[in-house]
Amino acid sequence: MKFPEISKTHLILFFLTIISTLIAGSIMQGGNPLGNPTDIILGIPFSITLMLILGCHEFGHYYYALKHNVDATLPYFLPAPPYLFIIGTFGAFIKIKSPIYKKDALLQIGAAGPIAGFIIAVPALIIGLLLSDVIAINDQYKGIILGDSLLMKIFTFIIFPDLIDGHDILLHPVAFAGWIGLLVTMLNLLPIGQLDGGHIAYAMLGKKQGLVGWITLLTLLPLSFLSLNWLIWGLLILVLMRSAKHPPIHDILTPLSKKNKYIGYLCLLIFILCFIPTPFQI
């Protein structure tokens, strides 16, 4: 497997994203890295955890792209202004530079990222919850309330079995990074267009993926009544991809192997475990 040279663009974006996530993590801990530069060390736990989750997600795609002789770039990390965008990054992506001809390759490349990110996000969430504190919530409380996935509810019940009404968990930065990792995994597994879930659904369902993709996209509209995030994400997906339908590949009629079908079912299970009806409330 030939490892490509790392371009200056990759390095610049990578280091800018590290800096922006360090600042974001410092702010979460009550630091003021602009006024007191040494406060930036407060952001280390959040930055390292989030970068590891995003990096493993994208490297999963990259590794399987190369394994199937598909030309792909190394991950591009996208920094974001930490004072405007709370986590300091818009995520990361790799660019596929050659066609994917086989359904098995399409499924494995699409599934590798969410599975790899999920494997890192879950222990990060568990460790972070063990480091988190329980606080009282009242009418004067101001802050962002994060929604719970099924997985989050399970871990919360196990780690905080005595949590009572009027109290909530103040997430440690490592737990918050793990929570973001599960959210990113869930969003990427939506069976729409050329999202990871779109690749998987097209490999599993063939041409029926187009119908499933449009139904999923339309379902985001009623979900937006629970959280406007869904409307924003739906519009962003539509603008960037212009269609909920996955572009065709050559061997669409070739049956998937049993192993790859199980990988597809595993991704569906991960999506269910990570799904958050109301991601953010203010």
Task: Write out pLDDT tens, residues 57-103.
Answer: 999 999 999 999 988 889 999 999 987 788 999 999 898 888 888 88
Lowest pLDDT segment from 74-83, 141-150, 219-228: 141-150
Give dist(CA 242, CA 245) in Å, integer: 9
Nearest 5°: the CA angle 29, 31, 36 is 160
Side-chain half-sphere exposure of 252, counting CA atoms within 13 A = 13
Q: pTM for the full model?
A: 0.91
Structural domain spans, the chain? 8-281
At residue 156 the predicted structure's pLDDT band, cuts being 50, 70 and 90, is: very high
The reported pLDDT for the residue numbered 130 is 95
Q: Kindly state the tokens that stand for 212.
A: 């499933």
Strands (E), 42-146: 76-79, 89-93, 133-136, 145-146
Q: Which amino acid is at 90?
A: F
Q: Which of 119, 114, 120, 111 shows the shortest CA–CA distance to 48?
A: 120
pLDDT beyond 70 at 201:
yes
At residue 3 the predicted structure's pLDDT band, cuts being 50, 70 and 90, is: low
